Each structure stands twice: as C-alpha cells, then as structure tokens.
Amino acid sequence: MIFNGRKTDQCGVILFGSEETDNIISEKSGGYEHVCEYIPVAQPNSGTLAKLDALKPSEVAGDPVDALIVGIETQDVYLAKKKSWTRRIIILTDGENPIEIEDWEATVNKMNALDIALTVVGVDFDDDEFPFHEEEKSNIKSENEAFYHKLTDALENGIVGTCAYALQEISRPDIKQVKSALMATVIRLGDVDVRPDEAIEVAVKATKCTALARPKSWKKFSSREHGEDISMGGEDEEESKTFFAELKMRTEYYIDRGSHDDDDDANSEDEEGSEAAGRKNDNLEKVEKEQLIRGFKYGSTYAPCPDGQFPRLPTRKGIDICGFFHAKNFRRELSMGEVQYIWADPGSPQQQVALSSIVQAMYEKDVMAIARWVSKDGMDPKMGVLAPSMFEKIDCLLWVQMPFADDVRKYTFASLSHLVSKKGESITKHPYIPTDEQMDAMDKFVDAMDLMEAGEKDEEGNREPWFDTRLSYNPAIHRTKQALFHSAVVNDIVTNPLNPPHPELLKYLEPPKRVVKRARDAVEECKQVFKIKEVPRKVAKPRKDGHARARDEDEEMLLLDLKAPKRTHPQSSSQAIAAPRTPAPSKPAADSDTETEEEEEEELLLAKKPGPSNHPLPTPARSLSPQVEPGRAPGRIIGTTYPLRDFKKNIAQGDVVTKAVEDLGVVIKEIVMKPFSSRRYGELLECMETLRDVSLKEDEIDAWNAFLRDLKESCLSEPGNQEFWSEVQKLGRCISLISGPEAAKLGGISNIPETAAEVFIQQ
C-alpha cells in the first residue's frame, strides 16, 4: 500500500492480547477486553511501519474472534459513507490463543452481508500447496487451526494460509493497476472554421492505456561531522555512532580558458565535483548562471536561445486528423512513449455514435490516421497515429506519439551479400560473404533457439511458448521495492540481510535448459564453420600519472581545440588531434564527396592527443565499405575527391584533353558503382554535363558516346545503380548520345541518328 501510494488504499491495526483495552465496542457497551485499536484506519506511511516495528510478543491472552468482531465494527463505522470500497480483514496469529467459538455463525453472516474478505495468516500453519506441516503441534493450535478452516469455509470469501508462504508472496512482483483520469479534448476531421459543412468535430475523452514505471529514485547520503545541532548523551555514545545526512546538490558553472581561448566551454559541476575539477585544472574560471545563455543541441553545435525557449506556435487544443494510411505501412519501431485511449464523451450518445462510425470505418478499411495533438491552447503539437480498437460493447481509438521527420535518423550500411570492387566489379567470394555451409549452420542454430515450444505443457500435453509478456517483470523496479521495504522493517541489515529475489523475477534471466541442450550441437557446428576464436581482453594502458578512467556515457566525445591547425593532408595517427565537427560554410556540389579532407579528419576524431608516453587509439576499420581513397589512382589526372575541379584544371592546360575526358568518364562510373553514392548524385550529374559539353566542343564525341553506353549498361546490370540512371533520364535529351546533326553544327562527326539518341535516353 505504501509503495503504490493510492489514497484509497487505507488500513488500520487492531491488537488482541494487549494489556490495555481500547476499542470502539468496549467504549460503548464494555466487554471485548485486551483488544486495542493500535493504528486508526488511514493511508499507511513510514510511521505505520515504525509502530509495527515497536510491537513485542505479549503474555496476555486475547481472543481473536473478539478482535475480529471489533474489526468488523470499526471498519463498518469508517466506511459508512463509502459503500463501494473493497473490505478486507487479515488475522495474523500463531494459533496458541484460546478462542470463544459461541455464536460464530452470526459473525459469518455479518461478514457475508458486508461482503468482507477474510484472510487468516497463521505462523507455522499446515499448507499442502506450499508445502509445510509442523511436527509435534500442540492440541490447542491444532483445534484453533481447524476452527479457522471451518470459519473461512463458511464465508463467501475466505482463505487460510501459512505465514512462510505469505512472506514469499510479499516479494512476488506485482503490477500496479491505476485508473487514469478522463481528460477532455476534441477530434477534428477537416477544417471546421472554413468549411464547417464538410468537417467533423467529435467531443472525446483521453485516458492512459499504458503507463511507464521506473524504479524508485535514490538519494545520496554522506557521513557528516558532529555539529552543535546534534545532541549527544555522552562521549562514549558520540564515538560509537556515525551520522549520515542527505547531500544537498548545487550546480556551479566554469569556463575552461586553457587551450580554448577562442571559444569558451561552460561546464557544470556539482559541489564535490567542482572542487575536484578546480584542483585538477587551474584554467577553470567560475561564472554565474546569469552570464550564460541557454542553448539547445542541434547535431554537433548548440543553437542559442536567449529567452530560454523558442516562440511557440499559435496552436489550438484538440486532435486534428491530417490523413489516413494503410495499417500495413505502420512502422512500430517509430512509436514513442505510452499508448492512450480515445473515448467518446460518456454523457453524449450522439458523440459516441459519431466516434464509433469513424472507428468501424477505419477498421473495415484497415487504415490508421495521422493526427496532430495539442494538449492545451498554445502548447507544442505532437504528431502521432490513431488506430481503431473495437471492444465487445464499445469502440475507441488508440493513440501513440510518432517522431517528426527531423527526429528520425537513417543509418545505412554496406550490403552483407553484395560487395563491389573499386573497379565496379561484383565480388562473389570474400571473407565477408557467407558460404552456403555457413548459412546452413546458422539456420540450424536459429531453429534450435526457437522458444515457441520451450515452455511448460498445457492440459492437452502441448508445450506452450516460453516467454509470456504478462508474466515478465522489470527486475530493477521490483528488486528496488524489495530492498526498500526490507530496510524499513529490519533494524540491522548486517545480521538480517536482504532475501534473494523472488523466482518469478529471475524466470526469464536465464534461457530454458531444454533449449540450451537442444542448441548445443548447432553451436559447436557454428564454431567450426565460422572458425570462432576467443578474443583476448584488451588491457587499458595506464596514463602517465598512473590513473586510467573510462569515459562516461554522457560525456562529450568531441574535444574543442580551435588553436590546432587545419590539416590539408592525411596525417599519421600519432599526430591526430581530436577536433570538433563544426558546421562548414556552404560548398559547391563537387566538395561533397565521401572522401573529403573533413571526413578524413572525422575518422581520426577519437584519437587521443599525443603525449610523451601514450599512443593514439587506432581508428575503427571500415570493414564492410570500400576503403577511402585519399587521392588519385596511379596513372590518372582526375581524382575521385574533386573530379570536376581536376577536370577543369586539366582542360585549361589544353594539351591533355583526351586524357582528361577518358579519366573523368572512368571516375564517374567508379563513384556511381560505389555504395552510398546517392549523396553525390548532384555532383556527378554536373560532371556529366560538363564532360558532354567539352566532348562536343573538343571533338571527343566518340569518347562520350562510348562512355554513356558503358555507364547505362553498368547501371542497369546487377548489382548496378538503377536509381542514378533514373536521375540521368530526368535530364532528358540534353544528356543523351551526341547525334550526327548535333555534332555537325560544331564541325564534328557522329554516326548516331537523332531518333536513336532520343530513344537511348528514354528507354
């Protein structure tokens, strides 16, 4: 109850066997002695645990039936105006107290009339399901235990259990069931302001379908020095106790003016961290928060925002449907956050019929809606999808937020099965291309790991799936909960350590033994076929000062050093210096090659700054993509880095036109056949236009026509690049073969008819 924190989860504690008598019945009519209302009915808190922890065993005999009757009356008086509340009574006993069993049937009738559930938790009670049976049990306990079973059997809702099983069930993971409040909003389809006759507006309510749960947060404590505000009983007591206090965190801002004179880097540190940072770096200068401007990270830079936030859009509260799309095109991996129900207004039948019509139409067409949700007027909009959901007696929509286009990152990788050489030739045998034997071995391994029939058998003897999402729990949440309450009810965790996790919490942390055994042969076959060997662990070399520290996950990867000179040629790794990726000024298309000098720097971005005794970290190998070629190939005058610039430079000389035309054609084809060439399409098309123009004017017509035929054949073959050839076709006739009439205008010769040139680019 404390962990869930619901206001409607309330309880009270009544003691029987107490020395004093203090209960609601004895105050009115007397009797019911040695029964005490210890904790009044209320929402439990840490004080409740402290009071329970103060209880000690009593030598006074008390009647549990008297306590049960007092509990029924106390509960009924408290819940006089709360008829819908669930009523439950739990009796915790060792079964050794004498019981007055006269007229117990009247008590049963009263509990059934009030719909009270009774649970009897007995210390060392017999339980066949647990299982547990106490040996040499006293006669009075045996009789009392039999009475409790008789009592609960007569109730409509009663059960008897042993205390050991109850303690085990306390650590069992449980799901916190919550009821979400109805939030009023409206769904709009069409423009209700400009064309109200063609638009639909439905009043709806939104509630949570799922809710994110996180482990309870931890607070930091540290031993504190004894101050004047702490009262001590004496010197001996002061020396024997250690006091802890919660750390109060504060943020301080520093600017490193050491090697970053041209650009200040503001770092925030906590109280303890700032002092340590100041000792390590004398170049840190403290600044006040008022001197700083808030910035939002965009890529590798920060966009300053002096006002603290950018201007909001003039939005209106509601859910606007922007369009519909087929459900099969929904990408589930892009869904963000929690799912919400969208219900029609419960008090308006007309609105319910309207929303139900929309839901059923979407369901029949198998479509989902793209919607824009604004929670309040002027708030930032959220984009998401609405999916139809039809229950037995009600129809509704399910909403889930989706990312904006700018928030989606597309990472492309080189093909695992199609490799292309630098010459544009397809490679069929390579260490990165799996063989048929390796494919078969992996298929067997995947089949052996099938978990769909790895669970327990059902009533018909068929095995069920091993994993059930309804029975899987977050270990962090429930283990934290168990640790919190163990520490709350135990005085000394050294002598009474935390119990191991509940078996349900560990069920899915280890694979089922049946599957492991079944996959053993497939694993061995994979080891042999793939020649798997254990990779030796790399030991981090200590720094000069003898201290080695790993980077934190959220630590900036880029070190700002604007004083470092910009490299114009690739350097050795021992000279690499980490530099920032700042936005470069706009460049012509020719400078967007994958092999530019900026991207050569990016490969050495994670190398350590050279020092007297350390070595730079090696750059990761680009195993699946062709190696970056820093310059021109031997024998060529045109390079792949800046092909258009090299071509124009050689044409200006005037004596190497034929060689320049030939090399540029080879370079264009080579780049087109490389993976990830789509980023250079604009640059390559510009190269082709320039090459055609020069070929026509310098009487290199045959060279152009031969190049274009070869390029088309290569693009349309396998693996090829049909996408690039489609871009070429969009340019039309002006990029096609040079025909005879076209060449004759400038004194050239070509045997290509005009119609053939038009058909060539269209096919």
Q: CATH number, domain at 347?
A: 2.40.290.10
Residue 308 lies in a domain: yes
Phi-psi region of 397 (alpha: psi -120 to 50; beta: other; left: phi over 0): beta
For the record, the structure tokens of 399 come out as: 């909403």
Q: Residue 452 domain-assigned?
A: yes
pLDDT mean over 74-78: 91
pLDDT of res. 323:
94
pLDDT of residue 206 exceeding 90, the answer is: yes
288 lies in a domain? Answer: yes
Q: If you average pLDDT over residues 426-442, what whole number do you get?
A: 88
Verify that 620 and 654 share a domain, yes or no. no
Q: Which domain holds residue 578?
A: 558-630
Per-residue pLDDT at 480 exceeds 90: no
Question: Do residues 155 and 34 both lie within one domain?
Answer: yes
Residues 387-406, mean pLDDT to the nearest whole number = 92
pLDDT in tens, 485-503: 788 778 788 888 988 888 8
In a domain, 22, yes or no: yes
Taking the CA atoms of 681, 685, 690 and 695 in sequence, report the sign of the dihedral they define: positive
Phi-psi region at 318: left, alpha or beta (left = phi > 0; alpha = psi -120 to 50):
left
Return d(Cα 627, Cα 422) in angstroms, integer.
9
Identity at 70, one-letter amino acid code: V
**Residue 320, C-beta contacts closer than 8 angstroms, at least 6 positions apart:** 188, 371, 372, 374
Looking at the structure, do residues 158 and 54 belong to the same domain, yes or no? yes
Are the beta carbons of 639 and 667 closer than 8 angstroms? yes
Mean pLDDT of 142-163: 89
pLDDT on residue 388: 96
Residue 649 located in a structural domain: yes
pLDDT for position 412: 84
Average pLDDT rounded to a whole number, residues 567-583: 36
- 163 and 194 part of one domain: no
Q: Which of 630, 661, 694 is the last residue of a domain?
A: 630
pLDDT band at residue 368 under the 50/70/90 scheme: very high
Percent with pLDDT over 70 in the chain: 82
Does residue 542 form part of some domain?
no
Residues 330 and 247 in one domain: yes
- Tell me: do 650 and 623 sit in the same domain: no
Comparing C-alpha atoms, which of 731, 629, 627, 624 is closest to residue 681?
A: 731
Which position has the higher pLDDT, 571 or 52?
A: 52
211 and 339 in a single domain? The answer is yes
User: Are both 211 and 187 inside the same structural domain?
Assistant: yes
DSSP collapsed to 3 states, 194-225: CCHHHCEEEEEEEEECCCCCCCCCCCCEEECC
* Confidence grade of residue 541 (pLDDT, cut at 50, 70, 90): low
**What span, in angstroms and rounded, lies between the C-alpha atoms of 562 and 585?**
16
Name the burial class of residue 116, with classes exposed (0-12), middle (13-18) and buried (19+) by CB atoms within 10 angstroms of its CB: buried
CA dist 225 and 345 (Å) reads 60
- 470 versus 579: which is more confidently predicted? 470
Res 22: pLDDT: 87
The pLDDT, as a whole number, for residue 40 is 92
Mean pLDDT of 327-337: 91
Q: What is the pLDDT of residue 318?
A: 95
pLDDT for the residue numbered 544: 54
Report the number of distinct structural domains present in the chain: 5
What is the reported pLDDT for 84? Answer: 84
d(CA 715, CA 721): 4
Query: Given this model, what pLDDT does residue 281 score?
Result: 60
Task: Say whether pLDDT at 543 is over 50.
Answer: yes
Lowest-pLDDT choice from 72-86, 113-127, 552-566: 552-566
pLDDT at 226 (0 to 100) = 55
Domain end, chosen from 595, 630, 665, is at 630
How many Å apart are CA 588 and CA 274, to the nearest integer?
A: 46
| DSSP secondary structure letter of residue 500 | P
Q: Rounded CA gap, 249 and 451, in Å?
A: 48
The CA-CA-CA angle for residues 39, 45, 50, to 5°, reads 65
Encode pLDDT of 219-242 as tens digits: 787 777 655 444 333 444 444 455
Task: Let me know whether 51 and 196 are in one domain.
Answer: no
Q: Which of 140-149, 251-260, 550-559 has the lowest mean pLDDT?
A: 550-559
- The answer to the question of residue 394 being in a domain is yes
What pLDDT does 241 receive? 55
The answer to the question of residue 336 being in a domain is: yes
- Identify the pLDDT of residue 471: 84
CATH number of the domain encompassing residue 116: 3.40.50.410
Q: Does residue 140 sit in the same domain as residue 64?
A: yes
Amino acid (one-letter) located at 164: A
Pick the range with the lowest mean pLDDT from 258-272, 409-423, 437-451, 511-525: 258-272
d(CA 730, CA 552): 50
Task: Report the sign of the C-alpha dihedral through residues 525, 530, 531, 533, in that order.
Answer: negative
User: Does residue 547 surpass a pLDDT of 80?
Assistant: no
Whether residues 212 and 344 fall in one domain: yes
Tell me if 663 sits within 8 A of 644, measured CB to CB: no
Residue 542 confidence (pLDDT): 62
Do 205 and 339 share a domain, yes or no? yes
**What pLDDT was estimated at residue 397?**
96
pLDDT of residue 581: 37
SS3 state of residue 715: helix
The mean pLDDT value for 633-637 works out to 81
Which of 583, 601, 630 finishes a domain? Answer: 630
Residue 560 pLDDT > 70: no
Question: Binning pLDDT at 50, 70 and 90, where does residue 631 land?
Answer: low
